[in-house]
Structure 1
Amino acid sequence: MTVFKLNGLTKNKLTDYRIKPEASVLVLNIMPNKVVTENQISQLFSDIETPVAVTFMYPRSHNWQHGDQQDLAYHYVTLDAVREQYFDGLIVTGAPLEKLEFTDVDFWDEFLEIREWSRTHTKYQLFTCWGAQAALFTDFNLPKINVDKKIFGVFENQLSDTELPSGFRMPQSRFSKVDSRIAGETPNLEILGDNSVSGPFFLRSKAQNSLYVMGHPEYQADTLGNEYYRDLHKGTPVDLPHNLSVEHPEESYERWHKNSIYLYQTWINEILEEKNYERKQLQI
């Protein structure tokens, strides 16, 4: 369908005025390469059936070392700029911060403020990778567990009793995870996707109106391969990504991309159902 990027480094122009966005989503983009992540998320929204308006946000207290900070401030909003606004959904991206303690992250206090603000100013939240681990910690005090060997590749859900489509897969690239037992015993938290290697990678809290996805649904076919060759070039020890051919990733990508579309569309459908319910209540 159509995605309307209302701001950002890759802002697009409205060309078909007959199409109106049906949902508004705020994206806290904390990935190093803002342009790549903007395009990946926008592509996913373009592949679902619902037109969506997207606003990109960054933590003002974070020192962005991969681009021009002033340029970012010009093209993105901060919490102060949207504090009085309301959005249907919030997405928090991942970031290569797993090896840091949460309190050592330079924008941690601001993240806590954004998370608290989101409870009253956004209806549904979708947290990915580091964002998911940080939200699980703030919402449930669920600790992250650092791992020596990078969880890297495409991992399949091994749970038999789940709402996810059969063989649901998700790209992973991280140095930490959460414990299945602790997560499973946490009240108001459900594990929808788990793998013996990656640990739980898809969790939900209906009480929090939140999805916690310990992976990167937005990744495109060549993303994991590019990370692999980047680490090789830097001399960083790295294994080939699990369950993916870096030379011919298309077949694997086709499958996980369908799962990512399912994730985004299902999430947006929940938002629309809530909006339609509210409209119905107003008419009574």
Structure 2
Amino acid sequence: MTVFCTNGFNKKTNRILPLNKKQATSILVLNLMPDKQTTETQLSNLCNELNRPISLTFMYPKTHCWHHGDQTSLAKNYVTLDQIKDQYFDSLLVTGAPLERLDFNEIDFWQEFIAIRHWAQSHTQTQLFTCWAAQAALFVDYAIPKIDLDEKIFGVYVNELNDSALPQWFQMPQSRFSKVDRQTVQNTPGLQVLGDNQSTGPFLMQSDTKHSLYVLGHPEYFMDTLSNEYYRDLHKNMAVKPPINISLTAPQFSYAHWRCCSRYLYQSWLDQSFTLKEQKNDDKKQLQL
């Protein structure tokens, strides 16, 4: 299918037929990653592999100072909550951010993140939070704290659950210094664990009541993203181990598997949003009879 970007740094590289623009699933993306253009490309490419036309609108928290680029340029290419608060989108997607070593209340845009999360409950059908954003949303929604780690969870990890709706062979790229407690999550009413691993802890959770997916990982990553992060940290003389379950010289074999899993995850999420939207439209039609 085709992806149309309504804004963003890569807007000119995307095309869509006028007819499909009206039919597209609208996704609001709160992009918190430092390299916003790369993340835009990763998400656009992944969405382009799905079976629905998709419209992406990129947003940033206005209370955060972007240290990896020009703030004025960001404001020209992205929207803020104030600018779209009266609009409705099919879905909200919130990216990760390299913030897991900070307490939530130390983050400059924390109160705005909470406001965006609450706004999304009434202005989107479904929400998907990845990596740091998933841990932040779990804390806002269920008061589940993140657990800081001394050693980075780094590599590609497989779902080890036997009784999950998610395929047991499901794989997820990981790059984080924090996790959530398995027992706390399992004892939280309304929260279902779909993906778990002994090394990472729960990495994919679902809330039916909030229509949200909490993904502690990076399904959007490209084939070379993990290896690039590894060599970047080596160049900085950081103590870092190679990512596990992926070859630094031939990452395409691992990538082919997790890319299939990423498409499965995003497609399921979009299908849920479409179903909820159709149900609401049916309800409106019934009221008009």
Distance 1:111 1:15, change over 3 A: closer
Aligned CA-pair RMSD:
1.0
Distance 1:15 1:131, change over 3 A: closer
Determine whether 1:149 maps to 2:171.
no
Q: Residue by residue, what CA displacement relative to the aligned partner does 1:133-190 show, whole Å, maximum 9, x if unpaired?
A: 0000000000100010000000000110001123100000000000101100001001
Question: Shift of residue 15 of structure 1?
Answer: 4.7
CA contact (8 A) 2:161 2:168 kept: no
> TM-score, normalised to structure 1's length?
0.98
Partner of 1:202: 204
Alignment of 1:63-212 (within 5 A): 63-212=65-214
| Residue ranges of structure 1 left out of the alignment (5+ in a row) | none
Letter of the 2:83 counterpart: A
Question: Shift of residue 254 of structure 1?
Answer: 0.4
Determine whether 1:19 maps to 2:29.
no
Number of residue pairs the alignment of both structures matches? 284
Whole-Å separation in 1 of the counterparts to 2:151 and 2:15: 45
Whole-Å separation in 2 of the counterparts to 1:110 and 1:17: 34
Question: Shift of residue 18 of structure 1?
Answer: 4.0
Whole-Å separation in 1 of the counterparts to 2:176 and 2:16: 38
Partner of 1:254: 256
Whole-Å separation in 1 of the counterparts to 2:184 and 2:170: 23
Whole-Å separation in 2 of the counterparts to 1:5 and 1:66: 22
Question: Shift of residue 14 of structure 1?
Answer: 3.4
What percent identity do the matched residue pairs reach?
52
* SS in structure 1 at match of 2:45: helix
| Residue ranges of structure 2 left out of the alignment (5+ in a row) | none
Whole-Å separation in 2 of the counterparts to 1:50 and 1:209: 19
Question: Shift of residue 95 of structure 1?
Answer: 0.2
Question: Shift of residue 246 of structure 1?
Answer: 1.2
Partner of 2:9: 9
Partner of 1:274: 276
CA contact (8 A) 2:164 2:195 kept: yes
Whole-Å separation in 2 of the counterparts to 1:217 and 1:124: 17
Letter of the 1:227 counterpart: E
Whole-Å separation in 2 of the counterparts to 1:208 and 1:152: 29
Question: Shift of residue 203 of structure 1?
Answer: 0.2
Question: Shift of residue 276 of structure 1?
Answer: 1.8
Letter of the 2:198 counterpart: S
Question: Shift of residue 230 of structure 1?
Answer: 0.2
Match for residue 38 of structure 1 among 33, 37, 40: 40
Letter of the 2:18 counterpart: Y
Deviation larger for 35-44 or 17-26:
17-26
* SS in structure 2 at match of 1:81: helix
Whole-Å separation in 2 of the counterparts to 1:150 and 1:143: 18
